Structure 1
Amino acid sequence: MDYERDLTRAAEIARAMTGTMACRGPDDEGVWFAPHAAIGHRRLAIIDIAGGRQPMIAEEEGRDVAVLTYSGEVYNFTELREELAGRGHSFRTRSDTEVVLHAYLEWGDDLAEHLNGMYAFAIWDTRREELLLVRDRMGIKPLYYYPTAHGVLFGSEPKAILANPLAERVVDADGIRELMAFVKTPEHAIFKGMYEVRPGSIVRVNRDGIGKRRYWKLESAEHTDDVDATVATVRGLLDDIVARQLISDVPLCTLLSGGLDSSAVTALAAKDLREQNLGKVRSFSVDFVGYTEHFKPDTMRATPDAPYVHDLVRHVGSEHTDIVLDSAELMEPAVRDTVLRARDLPLGLGDMDTSLYLLFKAIRGYSTVALSGESADEVFGGYTWFHDPVAVNADTFPWLVVADVSGSANLDLLNKDVRRALDVPGYRADSYHQALAEVPRLAGETGLERRMREISYLNLTRFVQTLLDRKDRMSMRVGLEVRVPFCDHRLVQYVFNAPWALKTFDGREKSLLRAACADVLPESVLKRVKSPYPSTQDPGYELALREAVRELLRNEDLPSQQLVDLAKVREAIDRPVDGTTSLETRGPLERLLQLDAWFKEYQVKLSL
């Protein structure tokens, strides 16, 4: 949008920006123009295939009054539709999109407080010539904007904004710090001048400028329920959440790792479908060739997934498919390039990104919607750093104390002058103390309970964003919608206020979730210790990485060499391969390959 230009003459640029989102919406496209606004949409059809076309326009007396472009799902749209109909609204479609549009006509920018779901949307109000950008409470769906001299550019991903020549592809020192720090600072979008709408927030753009308002954030309140009541409430919420998220007009499945989280979602989905006589739940898992047979326990993973996956499949009777990948697929240049373009950033997660992309690509051949167990660890306290006294008591983000997660080895990749100038440890410290200052305190709370509230808040507002963004980008790259039941704000808010003693009442991680779902899970899954998303242990993968880096170093004109200590890179690739395949050993190699590809692909200009 632009208050000084006639955007009806900018159709080519608007369509180019919209076209970058084709992967997110392979089913339909549309662009709406007015003198000061151009609204584009690519559609992934989930609800009301025929009637939910966008941009969707609300009319009064033959003139357009509001235009909506919307991504995601609102799970309480049926109840909202009935409420709005009772207030005099009439509907032409069965879609949740139209419900959101009428909710705006009824409640204005208070509409978000009525929505339960995952969503990112923009509304142009033609009467006020005002734009609203709205993002869901937990940040499941992405939304970015880029202020210009007389307006703003916006899109679901940075690539949509970068398709407009007004957006400069500049990354400054803070952008590089954010790339390397692994802290996910709210609103930071890496590219200079670009911002991410904060979860639970509304950005309003009008002739007076840009304003921001948070309509939801975590709040502290005294938790008065005992163990039994808390477990019952968690289960009641999960039953309702999963039932709502199973609504779809297209084939649906679950993602299954054999861990407590994904197994709970799959089991509850199977139970709901069975009770409605809707058949079996379909489930998918990812595995690597030879992974189970040759598995070696490490600091993050004590067991392979496959045996637990199949225990759960037998227990609930799901229609299951294992997606088994090999190292050649993970190193395929075209796949790695696709992953980089999907994420827009060189985030260096290597095979954990490529395998997730390949898993979603395979699933898309069968289903358009998948339910995931993502975010249960942040909600219920499942990660090792919730239970490690050193991590808990550290004066930093607790995940930075865990070597495989922190990405500290990536900092060693930088040359010493850049490291000194960036001062990433100082950046992390500033971000940490900024986050701590936001924590909603509970009067009288002290000691461990106070600290664990802080740890929970850090995970629910910082760490979870990294995983939700990864999940969204990899899935939407292939037009797969992944829903996240554990991010329902009612569940998040309730469990956030449960005392740490309640969250660990059985002496283990995620006590509340385990107890709430004990009746639908096999004993093996209930007893399994937390195991993160798998990473290949094939030594051949690291050998292939090293060879790819050697090939890269043969090029004398490396864009990344202004940041990287090439001597350290050569030292790393010449070390003996010892059979370990952790992120700590492979991470710098992955990061260098991605950095170089990013500079070339995105024509990034550094401003340090």
Structure 2
Amino acid sequence: MCGITGWVAFRQDLRTERDALDAMTETMACRGPDDRGTFTTDHAALGHRRLAIIDLPGGRQPMRVDLPDGPVALVYSGETYNFTELRDELRRRGHRFDTSSDTEVVLHAYLEWGTALAERLNGMYAFAIWDGRHDKLVMVRDRMGIKPFYYYETPDGVLFGSEPKAILANPAVEPTVTLDGIRELFGFVKTPGHAVWDGMREVEPGTVVTVDRRGPRTTRYWSLRTREHTDDRDTTVARVRELLEDIVARQLVADVPRCVLLSGGLDSSALTAIAAKQLGEHDERVRSFAVDFAGQAENFVPDEMRSTPDTPYVHDVAELAGTDHQDIVLSADELADPEVRRRVVRARDLPTGLGDMDASLLLLFRAIRGHSTVALSGESADEVFGGYRQFFNPEAREADTFPWLVRFARHRGERGGLLAPGLLENLRLDDYVHDAYRTSVSRVEPLPGESAFESRMREICYLHLTHFVRILLDRKDRASMAVGLEVRVPFCDHRLVEYVYNTPWALKSFDGREKSLLRAATADVLPRSVVERVKSPYPSTQDPAYARKLQEHVRGIAADHPVFEIVDRTLVSQLAAAGQVVGPMRYALERTLDLALWLDMYRPVLKLS
């Protein structure tokens, strides 16, 4: 998986900047605990931290080829699932390989096809190539944005890294956050390209950014395109199953122990069942892991968001599929541990305010890492197949905004309700969100002859696949890589995404329920309880002791803390003293604690006027 970073400067000799490069590289140690390496030449410096997954002895980086007119060096994060086929094709074209790694295949693919290599890759990846033949840097990110990738333009080049912390470690960068950064933090829209930190940008999914003496230039090699879907229902269901079988087989390839993340929902259960069937053909058992909270099964109270606890369904799947299963049971003390919150904020580089949902994910991954290095996750199936309630809620479907914001306003309070009054007025948050929404909707290609309803559902699917899913993918990547665990997301395979995106909504919901195609494609390998289960979001603890600890921690924030430049001091004080906090009130406490910790750790310069 790995962490990458680097620096290109056309008006200085970077061979004298090894200390800065080392500092940037070491921020990625959590992403790559197995090895480190650097490459420097006059105008380029690359750093790499490795998590060894394929060809453990042979995949060291930076990987380079020395050519007569200059070196070509690569730092690479991710996995290319079709590297075997690509290697065979490159061999036929005369390339020779010294390792069995996918990294070397990507490097030679660039030598053969240049930036057009991106169109040939199937996988999750973020990589940078210094092409010394032409004095240029090439940065490439996967189609769905599974792997994070950031860059920061300087007067004579760029800095880049898998995470913002790598760029912020360079002494030339001042960690500044402006009103636009705060808007992105509180808008919950994941604007493509936006990185919150002033001057920093994401390499957008499906793009190549080329940097030479003229500066950065971005080209797009993939986007969601509208095409007519001509397959009938049975053919569509069969094609979904065919794709899933192929995707899971590809993503089970690793030279290290593998497992699956099992929540008891349709998505993760389908992957678990298919993986168990495929490994069973080779007399292997799949390992599965689930998160649970102390007392949750016994004390669970249904609410509007979650009607059932996960554990009974998890155990049904584990029994039917014959997995080697383990529940990771967490207590309120573990979830509220300030050190765990610190690790989460450090992993995310941002104060997300998801609280126990982020803490439990990090603790789950830390426990899994003691047994496995690669995990398969059901992330993104809801976005691909239409699994969220807002896909079926008329109010959300008809709203002139991102559909999930209608639900979040109800469950977390109005956007910006936590913000200090003066800041809230300056932000004009509704205008920011509306502009992002209109820009995104304008990119949806209509299908000639499509009904108004089908056209609107296409827009809703597009918004989830280009905004909402990237929030969740970033969360999962940061939490997993913080403990050196590679999480693969089969439902993000671009072939599946393209196919299902263009399936009419009438087919996506042919039985009147969410994710009809996925349910039909996998029902034969699942227990009936899971086939019939209603969608339930990622779990959150209901233990009142956890909320009391949040209040205690918030009361410990000093009255003059800079967090109160951002949040409403009066509101936070009232919540900290309240008898019971649930729902939006608890979320406000979580957000305040994250913000305060983030300000302490990163000390950003806030420009809020």
With normalisation by structure 2, the TM-score equals 0.97
Residue by residue, what CA displacement relative to the aligned partner does 1:415-442 show, whole Å, maximum 9, x if unpaired? 2111111011111111110111111221
TM-fit CA distance, 1:276:
2.7
Q: Which of 360, 364, 388 is matched with 1:359 structurally?
A: 364
Q: Given that residues 409 and 587 in structure 1 are in contact (C-alpha distance below 8 angstroms), is that contact kept between their aligned partners in structure 2?
A: no
1:505 to 504, 510, 513: 510
Q: Distance in 2 between matches of 1:413 and 1:567?
A: 10
Counterpart position of 2:398:
393
Show the counterpart of 1:474: 479
Report the Cα offset of residue 585 of structure 1: 2.3
The answer on 1:22 being equivalent to 2:29 is yes
| Counterpart check, 1:426 vs 2:431 | yes
User: Which amino acid is the alignment partner of residue 439 of structure 1?
Assistant: V
Query: How far, CA to CA, are the matches of 2:9 and 2:410 in structure 1?
Result: 42
2:243 aligned counterpart, secondary structure: helix
2:601 corresponds to 1:601: yes
Task: State the one-letter code of the partner of 2:570.
Answer: A
Distance 2:410 2:236 in 1: 31
Q: Deviations over 1:188-215 (max 9, x none)?
A: 0000000001100110000111100110
Q: Which of residues 19, 39, 63 in structure 2 aligns to 1:12?
A: 19
Residue 295 (structure 2) pairs with residue 295 (structure 1): no
Given candidates 300, 316, 322, the residue that maps to 1:311 is 316
The equivalent residue for 2:564 is 561
Contact conserved, 1:171 with 1:604, CA < 8 A, in 2? yes
Structure 2 CA distance, aligned partners of 1:503 and 1:403? 24
Q: Select the residue among 571, 578, 581 that pairs with 1:575.
A: 578
Q: Partner residue of 1:585?
A: 585
Match in the other structure for 1:339: 344
Match of 1:100 in 2: 106
Offset at residue 480 of structure 1 (A): 0.2
Q: State the alpha-carbon separation in 2 of the partners of residues 598 and 406 from structure 1.
A: 24
Whether the 8 Å contact between 1:172 and 1:606 is mirrored in structure 2 is yes
SS at match of 2:36: strand
| Distance in 2 between residues matched to 1:86 and 1:167, nearest whole Å | 46
CA distance in structure 2 between the partners assigned to 1:270 and 1:361 by the alignment: 23
- 8 Å Cα contact 1:409/1:588 also seen in 2: no
1:384 aligns with 2:389: yes
SS at match of 1:24: coil
- Describe the shift of the 1:406–1:124 C-alpha distance in structure 2 as closer, same or farther (beyond 3 A): farther
Q: Give distance in 2, aligned partners of 1:151 and 1:166.
A: 12
- Aligned residue identity for 2:186: M
Partner of 2:289: 284
Deviations 1:100-140 (A, max 9, x none): 00000000000000000000000000010100110000000
Once the two structures are superposed, the pairs formed by residues 72-83 of structure 1 within 5 Å of their partners are 72-83=78-89
> In 2, are the aligned partners of 1:48 and 1:93 still within 8 Å (CA)?
yes
The answer for the alignment partner of 1:48 in structure 2 is 55
Percent sequence identity is 61
Q: Which residue of 1 aligns with 2:125?
A: 119
Contact 1:375 1:487 in 2 (8 A): yes
1:243 aligned onto 2:262? no
In 1, are the aligned partners of 2:190 and 2:470 still within 8 Å (CA)? Answer: yes
Mapped contact 1:385–1:398 kept (Cα < 8 A)? yes
- The answer to whether structure 1 residue 490 and structure 2 residue 527 are counterparts is no
CA contact (8 A) 1:410 1:587 kept: no
State the shift of 1:224 in Å. Answer: 0.3
Query: In structure 1, the residue corresponding to 2:76 is in which secondary structure?
Result: strand
In the alignment, structure 1 residue 258 sits paired with structure 2 residue 264? yes
Give deviations 1:422-471, integer Å, cap 9, x for gaps: 01111111111011111122112122101100000000000000000000
Check conservation: 1:410, 1:591, Cα contact below 8 A: no
Q: Which of 546, 557, 578 is matched with 1:541 structurally?
A: 546
Matches within 5 A, 1:177-196: 177-196=183-202
Q: Distance in 2 between matches of 1:408 and 1:101?
A: 49
- 1:562-595 Cα offsets, whole Å, 9 max, x none, are 12211111112222216xx43x221111111111
Q: Distance in 2 between matches of 1:223 and 1:407?
A: 38
Q: Using the alignment, how far apart are the partners of 2:285 and 2:387 within structure 1?
A: 29
**Which residues of structure 1 form unaligned runs of 5+?**
none
Q: Offset of 1:405 from its aligned partner?
A: 7.9
Q: Is the 8 A contact 1:7 1:38 kept in 2?
A: yes
Change (3 A) 1:454 1:131: same
User: Residue type of the partner of 2:399?
Assistant: A
The SS at the match of 1:413 is coil
1:12 aligned partner, one-letter code: D
Q: Which residue of 2 aligns with 1:60?
A: 67
Aligned twin of 2:168: 162
Residue-pair matches, total: 601
Structure-2 residue corresponding to 1:172:
178
Q: CA offsets, 1:320-354, max 9 Å, x none?
A: 00000011001111111011000000011000000
The letter for the 2-side match of 1:16 is A
State the SS of the aligned residue for 2:517: helix
Stretches of structure 2 that go unaligned for 5 or more consecutive residues are 1-7
| 1:51 match: secondary structure | coil
Q: 1:405 to 1:330 in 2, by over 3 A?
A: farther
Determine if contact 2:37/2:47 at 8 Å carries over to the other structure.
yes
CA distance in 2, matches of 1:551, 1:53: 46
Distance in 2 between the 1:292 and 1:423 partners? Answer: 43
CA distance in 2, matches of 1:378, 1:96: 29
Q: Distance in 1 between matches of 2:316 and 2:201?
A: 44
- Residue 411 of structure 1 aligns to a residue whose secondary structure is coil
Q: What SS does structure 2 have at the residue aligned with 1:329?
A: helix
The one-letter amino acid paired with 2:428 is: D
Matched, 1:37 2:44: yes
Q: Deviations over 1:465-520 (max 9, x none)?
A: 00000000000000000000000000000000000000011111000000000111
SS of 1:464's equivalent in the other structure is helix
Structure 2 Cα separation of the partners of residues 345 and 560 of structure 1: 14
1:149 is displaced (CA, Å) by 0.3
Is this contact kept in 2: 1:364–1:479, CA < 8 A? yes
- Could you give the per-residue CA deviations for residues 506-542 of structure 1, whole angstroms, max 9, x where no partner exists? 1110000000001110100000000010000001111
Bigger Cα displacement from structure 2, 8-17 vs 398-407: 398-407
- Do the aligned residues in 1 keep the contact of 2:262 with 2:290 (CA within 8 Å)? yes
Shift of 1:374: 0.3
Q: Distance in 1 between matches of 2:489 and 2:221?
A: 21
TM-score by length of 1: 0.98
Structure 1 stretch 442-451 or stretch 569-578: which is displaced more?
Answer: 569-578
1:90 to 96, 103, 106: 96
